[in-house]
Each structure stands twice: as C-alpha cells, then as structure tokens.
Structure 1
Amino acid sequence: MDVEESIRENSNTDVRNPIFLDRGDVAALLSFPSLINHLQFSLPLVSTSIQSPLRQNFPINPCSSLLLMPSWSTSPSLPFIGVKIVTSFPQNSARNLPGINASYVLFDSSTGQTLSMMDGTEITLWRTACVSALAAKYLVRQDAEVLVMIGAGSLASYLISAHLAAIPSLKKVVVWNRTAKKAQDLAKEMEEGESGSVSFQHGECLDEVVAMADVVSCATRSEIPLVRGKLLKAGAHLDLVGSFNHSMRECDDEAIGRGRVFVDNEAALVESGELVGAFDRGVISRGDIGGTLLDLIKGDKVGRSSSDEVTVFKSVGSAVVDILTAQLVYETRLIEV
C-alpha cells in the first residue's frame, strides 16, 4: 500500500485516532539520506504554497517562555497544518533537566483533524542537520575528506551523520568542544556507531583543527567568535548552525568576508549574529549574499564556483522544513502500518 492509498483509507473514517510518536519512534522512521532527499525534492514544489507566520514568543515568567511556530500548506502534495510548540526553561539546568522541550502537532488541512503528535525536539534535530547537509551537497568540494565538528551538544552527532550521508568523500571527523571530555566521548560514540571507513578523533587546539578542515560545522551558543577566518584553508566550507540572536557569533568577520555566503532562508539576514554584525560593520552587504538553500536546489544560484573558493552556509531554521520533516515521518509511519 503506497502513501496515497494509506491516506485515502484513513480518510474514509469519520474520526482518525492521532498517532503518538516519541523520540525513538521519530528516529526509527527517518534516515539521513531519506530526509535530505525529501527536502531536496519537496522544497521547490511546495515552498510557494506554505504559509509560515512569524513565531510567537510568550513570556511565562522572567526566565521562561512558550514559543509557537505554525505553518500550513495549500498544496495537494502537502495536505497538512503543523504547529511546533516549544518551551524554554533555562533554569532547568540546575534541576538536571532539559532547558528546551518541544512537541509537533500535525493536522489534516482539509478537515482539521489531528493526525499525529510527535517529539518536536527530535524533528528539530533531524531537520537542522539535514538542511546543513543538503546545502553542503552544493557548496562542499567533491574531494573533501576532513570534517571538523565544533561543539559536542545534542545536535553534533546529527550534523556529523548528515554530512557523512551527503558527502561520501569524507574520511575523517574531528570533534572539538570547550570541555574536552565531551569531545572525546562524542568521537568515541560516533566511532562505535559508524560501520564505514571514517575515522573519528577529538581535537585539543581549535585553531589547529580548523586549519586542517575541508568542512567546519559549528553548533554552539558562543558569543565569542570561535572560527577565525584567516585559518580557513582555500576551498573550505563553513557551516554555521548555533547562533539565533544578535549577541551570538560562531565565527569572526574575516570568515564572513572571505566566504561566499548562503543562507537557509531570508530570516537569517535579520536573526544571525554573524551576518547582522557583518552588515553593521560594513564587512559585507545584503547584496553580497549568494542566495538561499532554495535558490541552490532550483539552480537559480550557482553554489561552489571553484575548488579554492571558501563557502559559508548560515541556517536559523524555519517552520517550512519542520512541516516537511513531519510529513516524511507521518507518511513513512502510514506505509509501515
């Protein structure tokens, strides 16, 4: 039974029981190649049909907040309404609890019925990593061998796995983190879970590992630039994931100035600390931005233009890739039932 038949069969009943998918369920229904391919195929088809209002942020108390990120589509190939619900409780670190928790709710856009409730944190981790990896397919040198992962938090393993799926030439992964033990642990964990010929190690000197990298992926909340542009070797690709406000910066102005910069969507131009700061300081202008991920996929903008060019990709996330990821999870679940 294919996806369309499954959806029609479910639609024949007046009431559909929502499918509850926890973190493990979501992970089991996704693979990095499948999600990368789904985003690459679907974004050009549905990008103009998806409505994504600005996320709403409601303060719960001086430290905590509730965020709502809705989206919906008028395309027959994406008959859904989706809402990601996120709570931010930074004080949870003192309680040994996660500071960010999220749920994703998927509705039928023709009836309004609830179709599924999913772990929103897992949705975010997968889509963030796969957006970066998809951009890398257009921006990374075909002979790239060394990936440096800066940061060893929850997103790091997803970014590593997604890049390995998108860049088959990679042979070595080096993990760096301010807390060396976390970098060591992640490198060991990845090595134990990787069945291919890729080697994993941790790096102690950040400047040294950046200088050896063909691809640098950053997933931190740093407010002090970590990647120094002068150390990026010719032909390197820099992937920036962590910053989402003006005070956060994962690289310096020289990295932005040296690179040909692409973004996941236009929101990065007003949210990213690296880019907003570079605009304000006259390092680059908005007109210097090479394009968006959608531009790359559609071929409206050329990605890497030479083997020596430094490329930069900055992502801040969007409800569009959230709903596409939720679509793949839900439809894969229907097929497997």
Structure 2
Amino acid sequence: MLLLNKDDIKKVFTMKDAIEADKEAYRIFSEGKAEVPLRTNMASEKNGSMLFMPGYVSELGCAGMKIVSVFPDNAKIGKPVTPATVLLMDDSTGEVVSILDGTYITRVRTGAASGAAVDLLAVENAEIGALIGTGGQAPAQLEAMLAARKLKEVRVYSRNKEKREKFAQEMNEELKSYGAVIKAVESSDEAITDADVILLATTSETPVINGDLVKKGALVSGVGSYMPNMHEIDEKTLKKASKIFFDSKDAVLAEAGCIITPLKKGVISESDFSGDIGEVVMGTKAGRESDDEIIVFKSVGIGVQDVVTAKRIYDKAVEKNIGTEWK
C-alpha cells in the first residue's frame, strides 16, 4: 500500500493535471461508465458534517472512497475545516493500494472543477477574474482560474478585510508565475463588476453576488454551497443565465440550496438546465456558443472526481517512485 501525503502529491501533480483529471471524470460520469452513489452525509453533534463518497470506475480498474468532514470550528484550533482521506482500491483484487491526503485532493479537485468550467465555458479572451471567499478552498479556486485562462487581474473579496488582504498578499507571491495581479477589494460588487470569470467558494446562506452586475459573457461557478440551506448564487444571476450546467444534476438537486430553492419557488425551471458538464466534454451538448452568453456552473462534487484524481496521482507517484510503502 502506498501512502501519499500532501508534499508527495505536490511533487507529481499540478493544477493543470487536476483540471484534466476532472474533465476525464466528468466525461466518464456522463458516459455512464462509473458507479457514483449519492454521498452519505451524517451530522455530527459537535457542529459538523461527516460525508462518505464512494465511486467505481471500471475503465481505470479502480474504486475509491473519500471520507471528508466539514467542521467549521476546526479553524479555531488550527485544524483543517474539511479534513479528508481517500482510499484507492484495485478492482481486480479488492485491495486498497493507496491511502492519500484527501484534504489536499479535495482542495485541488474542487478547484479544478471550476478550472474545468473555465476551460470549457469561459470566453477565450477573459482578462478579469473575481473570487468570493478566502477560506480553505480559495487558493485552489484561484490557481484553477489562472491555469485555465491567462487573466490579467483577479479581485478577491471576503467579509473579513484583514483576511482578504492577507490572502491577496500571499497569493501574489505564491502564484506569481501566472502573471496576474491578485487584488483585495472592498465589496462583492466591486469584485464582480466587469469580471469575465466569477468563482464562488462560500457556505453562505444568503447570496454573495448581485446578478444585476454580472456582465454579458461572464461565467459564474459556484462550488461552495453544498446543503439545502446554502444560497451563494443569487436568483437574478440564474434568471439571466443563457445556460446552467452541473457536475451532476441529480447531486445538485439533492443538495444545493441555491438551485433547489429557486426551482421550488418557480424562479427557474428544469427547462432552464443545460445538462451536465461531462456532456460538453463528450461533445454531445454545446458549451459556450457566443461571447454574450452568461453561463452558470454549479458543482457539489461527485465521487468519480476523487477516484479519477486519486488514480492519476497514484500512477504518477508509482512512475516517479514517490511516497511511502506500507507493508
């Protein structure tokens, strides 16, 4: 069994690798070539959620299980808010061949979900990005949009001024190879005005953007809200959207409040849904058809992403002799 921690993974796997892995996962999912049961979500009595996300991809000869939790109070004690572990299994023997740092994989593959959406659905000449939220998922979201488009500027907003300014300062240094200016701004409105790419990574129960300010041609990707009480995407944006894509329609309609609630209210209907993004990868659904389309992508995460990402990391680690053998 190969043990792979965060540092091991970073040695062999880039954000561009992660974006390609997510696109592969979406394609496999939409082709019906993966078994991906809806995840099990159990509430902890200690103010947290514990989630179990299985998946099987026969095409790659592997299955996997991610155990991931969301415990907001962990931030107070210096622990990850979303700790996770991924188990990778060989489908020919049923053995667990690798245990991977699922906290890092979650960050990378969730960032790569937006990266895949940007790659497939954003305008080609995108120059301005906006990121709402500076939590644990934010660095990967930021890097993903930079890896998918050559942006000149990304505006970052979160409610805590000190935190967003520190984040922008750190990201300007960490991601300087991409050549974009990372700028902390005073409001969500300032962040999204004239932005070509808008990424939302919050667990807010109220919308964090004003759809009136979403310009023609913008892509809005929401990856933060994963429960029925969470509503980071506003109704105006959904009504203005030319297309609405999902990672998995079934998963989104089971979990994401910012789609469930407006659907129940009749603000949008299922006829407004364009399909799953994997269908765009396959070429069976059109993605962006004009530079004026506003496109929304909503993701809650599907198990096949973790399985495909873990398998691609494992293969590279074996090839480069990275990791620790547990015998």
TM-score scaled by structure 1? Answer: 0.89
Amino acid corresponding to residue 131 of structure 1 in structure 2: A
Greater shift after overlay, 323-332 or 39-48? 39-48
> CA offset at residue 213 of structure 1?
1.0
* Equivalent in the alignment of 1:110: 92
- Describe how 1:1-337 pairs up with structure 2 within 5 A: 18-41=1-24, 43-45=26-28, 47-59=31-43, 61=45, 63-75=47-59, 78-168=60-150, 170-193=151-174, 194-259=176-241, 260-266=243-249, 267-337=251-321
How far apart in 2 are the matches of 1:151 and 1:300? 33
Structure 2: where are the runs of 5+ without partners?
Answer: 322-327
Amino acid corresponding to residue 278 of structure 2 in structure 1: L
Q: Secondary structure at the match of 1:33?
A: helix
Greater shift after overlay, 89-98 or 234-243? 89-98
How far apart in 2 are the matches of 1:233 and 1:96? 39
> CA offset at residue 117 of structure 1?
0.5
> CA offset at residue 22 of structure 1?
1.2
Structure 1: where are the runs of 5+ without partners?
Answer: 1-17
How far apart in 2 are the matches of 1:186 and 1:159? 13
How far apart in 2 are the matches of 1:297 and 1:186? 33
Amino acid corresponding to residue 31 of structure 1 in structure 2: T
Instruction: Judge conservation of contact 2:230–2:256 (CA < 8 Å) in 1.
Output: yes
How far apart in 1 are the matches of 2:220 and 2:236? 12
* Equivalent in the alignment of 1:7: none
Amino acid corresponding to residue 272 of structure 2 in structure 1: D
Q: Secondary structure at the match of 1:195?
A: helix
Q: Secondary structure at the match of 2:66?
A: strand
Closer, same or farther: CA 327–203 of 1 in aligned 2, 3 Å:
same
> Highest relative contact order (Cα 8 Å, sep 6+), 1 or 2?
2
Greater shift after overlay, 176-185 or 36-45? 36-45
Instruction: Judge conservation of contact 1:269–1:286 (CA < 8 Å) in 2.
Output: no
Amino acid corresponding to residue 81 of structure 1 in structure 2: A
* Equivalent in the alignment of 1:13: none
> CA offset at residue 38 of structure 1?
3.2
Closer, same or farther: CA 245–309 of 1 in aligned 2, 3 Å:
same
Amino acid corresponding to residue 202 of structure 1 in structure 2: A
Instruction: Judge conservation of contact 2:25–2:305 (CA < 8 Å) in 1.
Output: no
Amino acid corresponding to residue 173 of structure 1 in structure 2: V
Percent identity among equivalent residues? Answer: 35
> CA offset at residue 192 of structure 1?
0.9
How far apart in 2 are the matches of 1:316 and 1:101? 17
Closer, same or farther: CA 112–256 of 1 in aligned 2, 3 Å:
same
Instruction: Judge conservation of contact 1:86–1:103 (CA < 8 Å) in 2.
Output: yes
Q: Deviations over 1:16-47 (max 9, x none)?
A: xx111112222222111122223334543565
> CA offset at residue 62 of structure 1?
5.7
Closer, same or farther: CA 32–95 of 1 in aligned 2, 3 Å:
closer
How far apart in 2 are the matches of 1:290 and 1:225? 22
Aligned length: 317
Amino acid corresponding to residue 211 of structure 1 in structure 2: T
Q: Deviations over 1:228-271 (max 9, x none)?
A: 11111111111111111111111221111001211111211232
Q: Secondary structure at the match of 1:174?
A: strand
Q: Deviations over 1:167-195 (max 9, x none)?
A: 13x11111111001111111111211212
Q: Secondary structure at the match of 1:274?
A: helix
TM-score scaled by structure 2? Answer: 0.91
Q: Secondary structure at the match of 2:209?
A: coil
